[in-house]
Structure 1
Amino acid sequence: MSQLSHINDEGKANMVDVGHKPQQVRIAKASGYIQLQPETLKLINKSLIKKGDVITIAEIAGIQAAKETSRLIPLCHPLQLTKVEVKATTEKDGVRVNSLTKCIGQTGVEMEALTAVSMALLTIYDMCKAVDKKMVMSDIKLESKEKKDQ
């Protein structure tokens, strides 16, 4: 097994030095899902959840979360994001959330994409918990990541 990059020679947490890496366009996409009861989906689609517009608020929460990732995950580098897109879409038995994050930097934006999806799903959970006791969040995953020269 290769040495973990976030552990130093003494076995302690270590923020990786990326200063030697070139500035590149970094893009990551992530997705996740929350399963909901049929009645909950009807309420969301008719904008009848008492806390407000579930889809729009979840998307905004995801964008905000991506921008705060380095404050939430201790060893993440703070990044100057150039694009964050979060799209929540109702499906047959739940809501799918997709995110895209982009920056020009020396390290990837995967954690920002995953954080965006996670927080959007948590926001849906929070907004619907009064009417749905069987929600299940699942399949949070990185769909792709890429880096390319500017």
Structure 2
Amino acid sequence: MAGARQHQIADRIKVIVAELLERRVKDPRLGFVTITDVRVTGDNQHASIFYTVLGDAEAIEGSGAALRSATGMLRSEVAKRLNLRLAPTLEFFLDAVPDTARHIEELLAKARESDADVAARAEGAQYAGDADPYRRPTDEDDEDE
């Protein structure tokens, strides 16, 4: 049951923080931020919030700074809305999943190109030796046995 409770709290924190970022945080450094995941410790005392930012490195840096400066306000609002005895500490982490996915897509594209190149070279190729290099039993071999 504790796992279900943690999951419930994590989902609720995700919704609350996303809503607060949209409506209450007015920091000009905050770009287009998406909360991708929230993980809560077993004692509900710490929440790790993963986010992505649409934009370049400057937008990512600015959004990270804006999130760090708004952490206190976000924590107090989360505590109010969750009605928990102790407010969990919030820590923001830039989510690496989009970069990893982009890298995997690039690797898959290279593999497809390589496969297409190999298939193109093999199209007109012929065997170096016989078409069927394996020895087949003949009638004479059957009689010897």
Please state which band the TM-score falls in when normalised by the shorter chain: 0.3 to 0.5
**If each structure's helix is expressed as a fraction of its own residues, which one has the higher value?**
2
| TM-score between both structures, scaled by the size of structure 2 | 0.40
Q: Based on CA coordinates, which of the two structures has the bigger radius of gyration?
A: 2
| TM-score between both structures, scaled by the size of structure 1 | 0.39
